[in-house]
Amino acid sequence: MSALPETPEAAAPPSDALGVVGDARARSGETLALASRHLDPSLVDVLSILGFDKEHVSAQGSHLYDAAGRAYLDFHTGEGFASLGHNNPDVREVLRATLDADLVDGVQIHYSALAGMLAEELARRLPTGLDAVFFASTGAEAVDSAMKFARAATGRPRLLSCESSFHGVTLGPLSIVGDDFFKEGFGPLLPGCARVPFGDLDRLEAELRRGDVAAFIVEPIQGRMVTLPPDGYLRAAQELCRRHGALFVLDEVQTGLARTGHWFALERWELEPDFVLVGKALSGGYMPVAAMVTRREIYQRAVGTLERCYVHQSTYGRNRLSMAAGLATMRIIERDRLLDRVGRVSSTLTGGLAELAERYELIKEVRSAGLMIGIELCEPRSRAARLNWRLIHRASEGLFPQLIVIPLHRDHGIITMAAGKNDVIKLLPPLTLSTAEAERFLEALAAVLGDCEGGTSRNLAVVRRIATATLARRARATLS
C-alpha cells in the first residue's frame, strides 16, 4: 500500500488587520451551515447524502485535509480548476508579488503589460494566425464571446453544436448545450441554435449546406463522459466548415493547457480552428480567468472599428491577478515539463485501469486522453445485482456510479465524481499528480470493485438505500 501523505506542518496562522482570515478559520465549522442558509442548500443536501460533507480546513498539492487531519486525494480538482494542485506555492508567490508591485489593474479603459504578455503566450502555443485574444472570467463567458463574434463576423444567425456537449450554464452557452436536463425551466433560450450528433458528418453537412450557420462549436473531446471523436471526424468537420463558410470553434475549456498531454488537444489532430476557447486550467487553481482566441480578421469584423471598440467588454476579464496567474501557470507547465509528466502518469493510470477492466465485470470501458479519464460502468451479470441496478437507475440515471464514488471517499480518502446522468466516473486529477498517487488510486479502486462484486457488498446497500429514499420522496411529491 502506498504511504499516505502527512498533514502539512502547522505554522503560524496567517492574519490580516481586518480579521477576515482569522474569522474564516474560526468559523470553518459553520461552512456548510452558512452555505445551506445563504448559498445552495440542495447541494449541501447532496453532499450530506454522499458523505462528502466534510469540514475541509486546508489543501495542498493533490490533497485536501479535514478538521481531523485526514488527507483526501483529489481526482476532481474542481472540474480541473486546480490544474497545478491546490495552493501551488509558485503561483501564490507571483500573485503576492503582483499585489506588492501596485501595478495598474488593466481593466476597462486601461491595459497592463500582463494582459498582453499572457495573450502572447497563448498565441505562441496555438496555430499560426490565432493571435487575437479576449479575456473573460469564466469558460462560459469565453463561449458566449465566440457565439457573439461568430454571428457578427459572418452576418449569419445560426449556431451549431453537438448532442451530449457541455459549454456552460449561462443563457447563451446553455442554448448550445447538448443535454436538455440543464435547460429545463430556463427557456425560452436563444433562437437559431441547433445540435447534431457528435461524430456524424452527414448531419453536420446537411445543416451547413443551408448557408446560414455562423459557427460550429465543438469540444475536441466531450467532457461530460470523456467521449473521444471518431477517427478523422474533427479534421473533416473543419473542412466542411471552411467549404460552407461557417467558423470552426474548438471549446478547449476542459481539454486545454496540458490536460490531454498536449498544450491543446487540437495538436492531436493537427487542427487549425477559427476560435479556441480556454479556461479552467489557466487559473492554476487561484483566479477566475478564461480566454477566447481567434484570428485578427474575425475580431476586427466583429468589434474592431473605432465606434464598436467598447461594445463587448468584461469588467474583470484582464485584471492583473488573473493575468499573472495565467502567466505563472503556463510558465510552470513549461518549466516542470508537465506535458511529459502527464504522459507518464497517464500511462500508469490507463494501464492499471485496463487490468482492472479485465478483472471486474462492472467496468464496461475506459476512455482517456492524458489525465482526462472516463470509467464507464455497466449492468452486472448476476440476477440479484441486475435487480439492484434497475432499482438504482429508476431512482436516478446518475446514481449507479456512487457505488464506487462513495466508498472511494469514505474508506480510502479519494475524491472522484459521477459524470452526470450516466454511468461514468470522471477523473480529472492535477497535472502534478505523482506516479505513487496514481498507484494509490488504483489500489483503492481495486479494493472497492472487489467489494462491489462480492456477495455481501455494503456499498451496494448504501446506494440502494439512497435509491429507495429517492423513490419514496418522489412518490410523496406526486401525491402532495
What is the predicted pLDDT for the residue at 472?
78
* pLDDT over threshold 70, residue 408: yes
**Same-domain pairing of 313 and 377:** no
* In a domain? residue 23: no
Residue 159's closest CA among 194, 205, 112? 194
Confidence of residue 462 (pLDDT cuts 50, 70, 90): confident
Distance (Å, whole) CA 201 – CA 108: 42
Cell 498539492, residue located: 61
- Strand ordering across the sheet containing 213-218: 130-136, 290-295, 275-278, 247-251, 213-218, 158-162, 193-196
* Helix 320-335 × helix 89-100 angle, to 10°: 140
Least confident interval from 264-273, 373-382, 384-393: 384-393
Contact 234, 218 (CB under 8 A): yes
Residue 282's closest CA among 328, 347, 235? 328
* pLDDT over threshold 90, residue 19: yes
Residue 176's closest CA among 99, 86, 267, 277? 277
* In a domain? residue 220: yes
Least confident interval from 211-220, 252-261, 305-314, 410-419: 305-314
* In a domain? residue 41: no
* pLDDT over threshold 90, residue 113: yes
* In a domain? residue 37: no
Instruction: Name residues whose C-beta falls within 8 Å of residue 42's C-beta, 6 or more positions apart in sequence.
Output: none
Using a 10 angstrom Cβ sphere, with 0-12 exposed, 13-18 middle and 19 or more buried, the burial of residue 142 is buried
Distance (Å, whole) CA 79 – CA 75: 9
* pLDDT over threshold 80, residue 455: no
**Same-domain pairing of 352 and 441:** yes
- The residue range of the domain holding 237 is 91-335
The CA-based diameter of the chain, rounded to the nearest angstrom, is: 72
Helix (H) or strand (E) holding 324: helix 320-335
Contact 14, 456 (CB under 8 A): no
The β-bridge partners of 58 are 65
**Same-domain pairing of 74 and 95:** no
**Same-domain pairing of 152 and 217:** yes
Beta strands 193-196 and 158-162 are parallel
Contact 85, 64 (CB under 8 A): no
User: pLDDT digit string (tens) for 346-383?
Assistant: 999 999 999 999 999 999 999 999 999 999 999 887 77
**Same-domain pairing of 385 and 319:** no
Contact 430, 77 (CB under 8 A): yes
What is the predicted pLDDT for the residue at 182?
93
In whole numbers, what is the pLDDT of the chain averaged over residues?
93
Range 178-195 average pLDDT: 95
Q: What CATH number did the domain enclosing 363 receive?
A: 3.90.1150.10
Provide, rounded to the nearest whole percent, the portion of the chain with pLDDT above 90: 79
Residues 288-318 as b/e (b if ≥16 CB within 10 A, e otherwise) read bbbbbbbbeebbeebbeeeeeeeebebebbb
Residue 250: helix, strand or coil by DSSP? Answer: strand
**Same-domain pairing of 331 and 452:** no
**Same-domain pairing of 202 and 76:** no
**Same-domain pairing of 152 and 198:** yes
* In a domain? residue 20: no
**Same-domain pairing of 154 and 212:** yes
**Same-domain pairing of 298 and 255:** yes
What is the predicted pLDDT for the residue at 404?
94
Take residue 445 and report the three cell numbers written for it: 479502486
**Same-domain pairing of 302 and 343:** no
User: pLDDT digit string (tens) for 41-88?
Assistant: 999 988 888 889 988 999 999 999 998 999 999 999 999 999 999 999
Residue 98's closest CA among 108, 109, 106? 106
User: Is the model more confident about 108 or about 178?
Assistant: 178
How many independent structural domains does the chain possess? 2
Confidence of residue 474 (pLDDT cuts 50, 70, 90): confident
Query: Alpha-carbon torsion 172, 175, 181, 187, what sign?
Result: positive
Question: How many CB atoms sit inside 10 A of residue 229's CB?
Answer: 21
* In a domain? residue 36: no
Q: What CATH number did the domain enclosing 165 receive?
A: 3.40.640.10
Domain boundary among 301, 320, 335: 335
Range 254-261 average pLDDT: 98
Domain boundary among 308, 335, 362: 335
* pLDDT over threshold 80, residue 480: no
**Same-domain pairing of 172 and 277:** yes
φ and ψ at residue 406, rounded to 5 degrees: -60, -50
Distance (Å, whole) CA 166 – CA 72: 28
* In a domain? residue 384: yes
* In a domain? residue 4: no
Cα separations in angstroms, 99 against 138, 317, 328:
22, 17, 14
* Helix 458-479 × helix 383-395 angle, to 10°: 40
Range 102-124 average pLDDT: 94
Domain boundary among 281, 310, 335: 335
